[in-house]
Amino acid sequence: MTDATPKQAKIDPKVLSILVCPKTRGPLTHDTDANELISKKAKLAYPIRDGVPILLEREARAL
């Protein structure tokens, strides 16, 4: 039997400090519950898939 919930990877704080929103170049925060990177300025949530942040506007979810 496999686990249906996706693995939620922790983002290294050093990596998070250098990642920026591709739209605004502003900071991102990690939402561990939704496993997304949040850009408050752009009001977008970027998914993290298999531990890899997908920083593409077309993949982001509007907040």
pLDDT digits (tens, 9 = 90+) for 3-61: 444 556 678 889 999 999 999 999 999 999 999 999 999 999 999 999 899 999 999 99
Quick one: pLDDT at residue 9? 65
Specify the residue for token string 């400090």.
17
Q: Does domain 13-62 have CATH number 2.20.25.10?
A: yes
Q: How many CA atoms lie within 13 A of 7 on its CB side?
A: 8
Specify the residue for token string 């949530």.
45
CA–CA distance, 21 with 15 (Å, rounded to integer): 13
